[in-house]
Amino acid sequence: MKYKELVEIYEKLEKTSKRLEKTFIISEFLKKIKKEDLEEIINLLRGNVFPVWEEKKIGVSEKLVIKSISRIAGINDKEIEKKWAKIGDLGKVAEELIKNKKQTSLEEKELNLNKVFENLRKLASLEGEGTVDKKVGLISELLSNAQPIEARYIVRTILEDLRIGVAESTLRDAIVWAYLGKELKIKYINENLELEDRKNYDFIIERTQYNYDLCNDFVEVAKNIIEYGIDFHKKTKLSGGKPINVMLYPKAESIEDGFKSVGKPAAIEQKYDGFRLLLIKYKGKINLFTRRLENVTKQFPDIVMLTEEQIKGDDFILDSETIAVNSNGQWLPFQALSQRIKRKYDIQDIIKKIPIIIRIFDVVKYNNENLMEKPFIERRKLLEKIVKKSNKFDIAEQIITDNLEEAKKFYEKSLISGNEGIMMKDLNGKYQPGRRVGYGVKIKPILETLDLIIVAAEWGTGKRSKWLSSFTLSTIDKESFLEIGKVGTGIKEKSEEGVSFKELTRLLKPLIIEEKGRIVKLKPKIVVEVAYEEIQKSTTYTSGFALRFPRILGIKEDRRPKDVNDITSINNIFIKQRNRFIK
């Protein structure tokens, strides 16, 4: 397939903001492609060349892309940077400069899809001496043969900033429309979706999402549907050593509400202030994944060793929490772990500096058996059998009770220990990946902090002139980010004191997509934990809410943009908060 065929689809998707129209465009395209092109097409529609959980990343900086554009267009780096600052899109800069380049190479060839995909994948595997020149060479090879519009999307894909507005749900639905459209009698007429059987359609969409939550790979999802048709969901199974989307837990207002949600008696466990970690063993190899599906196996060889030593079994997926401790064994807050998550070198030094403990709270798969449909109480009993307990590696502390006072005492004990609160779980509950379905709830002190995403910032003045110092926060509504306020407090001058202006600037600067004076617009990627005094109604921000006295508590390394508090949860907190103040 010619790359320009995919680029034509990119253009159509970029020109519309309508989700159903995007779904239709992709589904019609998928109907026409050959099976051998499926992997390349689906990944490139996502704006990447690897599944989300893959350890390999394209990993090319803007600086390297600028160097490649310079080589092809014959313009120096500084001129390109000026154009980039003005346009705010390095892809469009490449498009413009290649359109205006003085001469076309005699070696120019029409780009095909496989060549683009192959070169982009090679970028991730290059290491050692001469790597920079080799990467520039691979990028330049593509750009030298690219038409201007193709250059736009090549650059954007390299920088993982495709800007065509295709969310996971859109791609999911497009796959269903493409391969099950006839069976489900799907019709897209006058920008509306017409269905003869809405209930069956909703069921198939839900099972497609479930299939994706088990493998986090839309290529595999599409192949399952192509192979098995309308009954694909009957064949759905856990996929080898791939990470699942973890089960999520809604917040309950009180322990009494928790009992109403999960029933009596309930399993009650400590809610640790650590980060979620999947421990996966497959074909003799152990891998560790965060809830964001980041492979952190290399950063935590101590956890790999403990898992190998203290878990009986050849094949498993365990859900756990990792907690940092100090030299006296006292538990530390989540932020202490951020150094370990980010560290890629001198691992043994950081292991000594920030030791960890593991607390396992669920088993999803064991010895090739999918346990998701098993009652939680049975999964817990299995954990008791397969985990060799120690101070460092243990099962989450738990009581089973229907007694309110006993539950409250356990809650107080958990808070005194430095935990966030407690989890209350339905003893007969299933494990539902990727969803907040009510098989368990979390209880935390009110007011709960919010996970929000930074979408804009302002350059500081005076001694902070080199730093971004005022940050616009957003919640999410389906696929749109809605502003909920600005924050500049809680951030430290020095990194050793906590989250610093310098650290945030370092993380956010590569994400700048537009700059006007001191204000910069950012690619939504960095999630922060925010404390506040109250949520208020507001006409200033697009969410309709504002935070009173917000302050940043830390960066949430284990959260993806889609994991932030959504507008529904904000509204629910607002209502509950209002009722509390009235009382």
Whole-angstrom Cα distance, residue 501 to residue 480?
A: 27
Q: Tokens in use for 280? A: 């996966």
Q: Tokens in use for 189? A: 């007429």
CB 465: neighbour CB atoms within 10 A?
A: 10
The position carrying tokens 């945030």 is 504
Whole-angstrom Cα distance, residue 417 to residue 173?
A: 45
The position carrying tokens 């509306």 is 192
Cis amide leading into 447 (omega within 30): yes
Q: Of 19, 20, 24, 18, which Cα lies nearest the Cα of 9?
A: 24
Q: Of 1, 122, 143, which Cα lies nearest the Cα of 58?
A: 122
Do 158 and 67 meet the contact criterion of CB atoms below 8 Å apart? no
Do 480 and 442 meet the contact criterion of CB atoms below 8 Å apart? no
The position carrying tokens 């990944």 is 43
Q: What angle do CA 393, 395, 396 make, to 5 degrees?
A: 115
Q: Tokens in use for 335? A: 């932020």
Do 570 and 451 meet the contact criterion of CB atoms below 8 Å apart? no
Q: Burial of 418 by CB count in 10 Å (0-12 exposed, 13-18 middle, 19+ buried)? A: middle
Letter string b/e over residues 470-497, b meaning 16 or more CB atoms within 10 A of that residue's CB: bbbbbbbeeeebbbbbbbbebbeeeeee
Residues identified as active-site? 271
Whole-angstrom Cα distance, residue 429 to residue 423?
A: 13
Helix (H) or strand (E) holding 470: strand 468-477
Q: How many CA atoms lie within 13 A of 157 on its CB side?
A: 31
Q: Tokens in use for 327? A: 């030299």
Q: What is the 8-class DSSP label of residue 560?
A: -
Helix (H) or strand (E) holding 218: helix 218-228
H helical segments located in 126-217? 131-145, 148-158, 168-184, 198-215
CB 336: neighbour CB atoms within 10 A?
A: 19
The position carrying tokens 């817990």 is 380
Q: Which residues pair with 530 in a beta bridge?
A: 450, 552
Mapped onto helix, strand or coil, the DSSP state of residue 2 is strand
